[in-house]
Amino acid sequence: MLDALRRECLSCTKCGLCETRTKVVFGEGDPHARVMFVGEGPGESEDRQGRPFVGRAGQLLDKFLAAVELERDKVYITNMVKCRPPGNRDPRPEEMASCGAYLERQISLIGPEIIVCLGRVAAGALISPDFRVTKQHGQFFQKKDYEITGTFHPAALLRNPAQKPDAFEDFLALKARLEGGRRE
Protein backbone atom coordinates (compact mmCIF):
# COMPACT_ATOMS: atom_id res chain seq x y z
CA MET A 1 0.00 0.00 0.00
CA LEU A 2 2.75 2.41 0.96
CA ASP A 3 4.56 1.30 -2.20
CA ALA A 4 1.54 2.13 -4.34
CA LEU A 5 1.39 5.56 -2.72
CA ARG A 6 5.12 6.04 -3.34
CA ARG A 7 4.68 5.19 -7.02
CA GLU A 8 1.85 7.67 -7.30
CA CYS A 9 3.89 10.35 -5.56
CA LEU A 10 6.96 9.78 -7.74
CA SER A 11 5.07 10.99 -10.80
CA CYS A 12 3.23 13.83 -9.04
CA THR A 13 2.68 17.12 -10.89
CA LYS A 14 0.21 18.68 -8.44
CA CYS A 15 2.32 21.78 -7.77
CA GLY A 16 5.06 23.82 -9.38
CA LEU A 17 7.84 22.13 -7.38
CA CYS A 18 7.66 19.25 -9.87
CA GLU A 19 9.23 21.53 -12.47
CA THR A 20 12.44 22.13 -10.58
CA ARG A 21 12.93 18.87 -8.67
CA THR A 22 15.54 16.26 -9.59
CA LYS A 23 13.98 13.45 -7.55
CA VAL A 24 10.83 13.17 -5.47
CA VAL A 25 11.69 12.45 -1.83
CA PHE A 26 8.75 10.36 -0.67
CA GLY A 27 10.18 9.24 2.68
CA GLU A 28 11.71 6.08 4.06
CA GLY A 29 11.85 3.79 7.04
CA ASP A 30 9.80 1.13 8.74
CA PRO A 31 6.30 0.95 7.20
CA HIS A 32 5.02 0.07 10.70
CA ALA A 33 7.15 2.58 12.58
CA ARG A 34 6.01 3.71 16.03
CA VAL A 35 7.55 7.14 15.40
CA MET A 36 7.41 9.34 12.33
CA PHE A 37 9.65 12.37 11.85
CA VAL A 38 8.38 15.10 9.56
CA GLY A 39 10.74 17.75 8.24
CA GLU A 40 10.07 20.63 5.97
CA GLY A 41 11.17 19.66 2.49
CA PRO A 42 14.11 18.11 0.68
CA GLY A 43 17.35 20.07 0.40
CA GLU A 44 19.99 19.77 -2.30
CA SER A 45 21.43 16.37 -1.25
CA GLU A 46 17.96 14.89 -0.73
CA ASP A 47 16.81 16.16 -4.13
CA ARG A 48 19.83 14.50 -5.75
CA GLN A 49 19.49 11.19 -3.89
CA GLY A 50 15.71 10.90 -3.53
CA ARG A 51 16.07 10.18 0.21
CA PRO A 52 15.11 12.36 3.21
CA PHE A 53 17.63 13.87 5.61
CA VAL A 54 20.84 12.66 4.00
CA GLY A 55 22.76 15.97 3.97
CA ARG A 56 24.42 17.73 6.92
CA ALA A 57 21.14 18.18 8.79
CA GLY A 58 20.41 14.49 8.23
CA GLN A 59 23.76 13.50 9.68
CA LEU A 60 22.91 15.45 12.81
CA LEU A 61 19.47 13.80 12.97
CA ASP A 62 21.23 10.41 12.70
CA LYS A 63 23.44 11.36 15.66
CA PHE A 64 20.44 12.22 17.82
CA LEU A 65 18.71 8.99 16.85
CA ALA A 66 21.83 6.97 17.63
CA ALA A 67 22.32 8.78 20.94
CA VAL A 68 18.94 7.54 22.18
CA GLU A 69 19.33 4.16 20.49
CA LEU A 70 16.60 4.63 17.94
CA GLU A 71 17.56 2.99 14.68
CA ARG A 72 16.95 5.02 11.56
CA ASP A 73 15.40 2.06 9.77
CA LYS A 74 12.98 1.43 12.64
CA VAL A 75 11.47 4.93 12.42
CA TYR A 76 9.91 6.64 9.41
CA ILE A 77 11.27 9.92 8.04
CA THR A 78 9.50 12.21 5.61
CA ASN A 79 8.76 15.86 4.89
CA MET A 80 5.85 18.25 4.53
CA VAL A 81 6.62 18.57 0.82
CA LYS A 82 8.18 15.80 -1.20
CA CYS A 83 9.98 17.99 -3.74
CA ARG A 84 12.75 20.50 -3.08
CA PRO A 85 11.69 24.13 -2.84
CA PRO A 86 14.16 26.06 -5.04
CA GLY A 87 17.04 27.55 -3.07
CA ASN A 88 15.72 25.80 0.06
CA ARG A 89 13.06 28.44 0.62
CA ASP A 90 10.18 27.54 2.96
CA PRO A 91 7.49 25.49 1.24
CA ARG A 92 4.48 27.67 0.39
CA PRO A 93 1.10 27.01 2.02
CA GLU A 94 -0.40 25.97 -1.32
CA GLU A 95 2.49 23.53 -1.92
CA MET A 96 1.98 22.00 1.53
CA ALA A 97 -1.74 21.81 0.86
CA SER A 98 -1.32 19.90 -2.40
CA CYS A 99 1.34 17.62 -0.92
CA GLY A 100 -0.61 17.18 2.33
CA ALA A 101 -2.72 14.35 0.95
CA TYR A 102 0.43 12.21 0.57
CA LEU A 103 1.46 12.89 4.16
CA GLU A 104 -2.04 12.15 5.45
CA ARG A 105 -2.06 8.84 3.63
CA GLN A 106 1.44 8.01 4.86
CA ILE A 107 0.28 8.69 8.42
CA SER A 108 -2.80 6.52 8.08
CA LEU A 109 -0.93 3.64 6.40
CA ILE A 110 1.97 3.67 8.86
CA GLY A 111 -0.17 4.37 11.93
CA PRO A 112 2.55 5.88 14.16
CA GLU A 113 2.04 6.35 17.89
CA ILE A 114 4.07 9.55 17.85
CA ILE A 115 4.80 12.15 15.18
CA VAL A 116 7.79 14.42 15.72
CA CYS A 117 7.75 17.68 13.78
CA LEU A 118 11.26 18.78 12.94
CA GLY A 119 11.19 22.56 13.03
CA ARG A 120 8.84 25.47 12.72
CA VAL A 121 7.38 24.71 9.31
CA ALA A 122 6.17 21.18 10.12
CA ALA A 123 5.08 22.10 13.66
CA GLY A 124 3.24 25.17 12.36
CA ALA A 125 1.36 23.07 9.83
CA LEU A 126 0.71 19.93 11.90
CA ILE A 127 0.42 21.19 15.50
CA SER A 128 -0.65 24.82 15.44
CA PRO A 129 0.14 27.92 13.38
CA ASP A 130 1.17 29.61 16.66
CA PHE A 131 3.61 26.87 17.64
CA ARG A 132 6.90 28.35 18.91
CA VAL A 133 9.70 25.79 18.78
CA THR A 134 11.88 27.56 21.34
CA LYS A 135 9.03 27.70 23.90
CA GLN A 136 6.99 24.59 23.13
CA HIS A 137 9.53 22.04 21.94
CA GLY A 138 9.16 18.70 23.68
CA GLN A 139 5.50 19.18 24.62
CA PHE A 140 3.20 16.37 23.50
CA PHE A 141 -0.27 16.97 22.13
CA GLN A 142 -2.89 14.28 21.72
CA LYS A 143 -4.44 13.99 18.26
CA LYS A 144 -7.11 11.51 17.31
CA ASP A 145 -4.86 8.54 16.57
CA TYR A 146 -1.42 9.63 17.73
CA GLU A 147 0.55 12.04 19.88
CA ILE A 148 2.44 14.85 18.21
CA THR A 149 5.40 16.93 19.35
CA GLY A 150 7.81 19.43 17.88
CA THR A 151 11.53 19.92 18.25
CA PHE A 152 14.28 21.97 16.66
CA HIS A 153 15.06 21.40 13.00
CA PRO A 154 18.54 19.86 12.75
CA ALA A 155 19.54 22.55 10.24
CA ALA A 156 18.60 25.18 12.84
CA LEU A 157 20.80 23.33 15.36
CA LEU A 158 23.71 23.48 12.92
CA ARG A 159 23.28 27.26 12.83
CA ASN A 160 22.68 27.52 16.57
CA PRO A 161 24.45 24.69 18.41
CA ALA A 162 23.57 26.23 21.79
CA GLN A 163 20.12 24.66 21.36
CA LYS A 164 21.47 21.13 20.96
CA PRO A 165 21.10 20.19 24.66
CA ASP A 166 17.41 21.18 24.56
CA ALA A 167 16.92 19.10 21.41
CA PHE A 168 18.69 16.17 23.06
CA GLU A 169 16.26 16.40 26.00
CA ASP A 170 13.41 16.12 23.50
CA PHE A 171 14.91 12.95 22.02
CA LEU A 172 15.38 11.50 25.50
CA ALA A 173 11.75 12.29 26.33
CA LEU A 174 10.68 10.66 23.07
CA LYS A 175 12.64 7.54 23.87
CA ALA A 176 11.20 7.41 27.40
CA ARG A 177 7.69 7.78 26.03
CA LEU A 178 8.25 4.90 23.65
CA GLU A 179 9.50 2.79 26.50
CA GLY A 180 6.34 3.53 28.42
CA GLY A 181 7.73 5.87 31.03
CA ARG A 182 6.81 9.51 30.69
CA ARG A 183 9.56 12.07 31.00
CA GLU A 184 7.80 15.45 31.07
Residues that bind ligand URA (CB under 6 A): 39-43, 46, 52-53, 55, 57-58, 79, 155
- Apex CA 72: angle with CA 68 and CA 78, to 5°? 115
Which long-range contacts link 105-109 to residues 24+ away (Cβ below 8 Å)? 105/5, 106/2, 106/5, 106/27, 106/36, 106/76, 106/78, 107/36, 107/146, 108/145, 109/1, 109/2, 109/5, 109/31
Instruction: Please say which residue, 79 or 98, places its beta carbon nearer to ligand URA.
Output: 79
Q: Helix (H, G, I), strand (E, B), or coil: what is residue 64?
A: helix
H-type alpha helices, the chain: 2-10, 44-49, 56-67, 93-110, 120-126, 133-136, 154-159, 164-178
Q: How far is the CB of 74 from ligand URA (least distance, A)?
A: 18
Q: Give the residue at shortest CB distance from ligand URA.
A: 39
Instruction: Please say which residue, 112 or 154, places its beta carbon nearer to ligand URA.
Output: 154
Instruction: Please say which residue, 71 or 145, places its beta carbon nearer to ligand URA.
Output: 71
Q: How far is the CB of 183 from ligand URA (least distance, A)?
A: 26
Q: How far is the CB of 87 from ligand URA (least distance, A)?
A: 13
Q: How far is the CB of 2 from ligand URA (least distance, A)?
A: 18
Query: Whole-angstrom Cα distance, residue 154 to residue 159?
Result: 9
Instruction: Please say which residue, 10 or 183, places its beta carbon nearer to ligand URA.
Output: 10
Instruction: Please say which residue, 92 or 176, places its beta carbon nearer to ligand URA.
Output: 92
Q: How far is the CB of 103 from ligand URA (least distance, A)?
A: 13
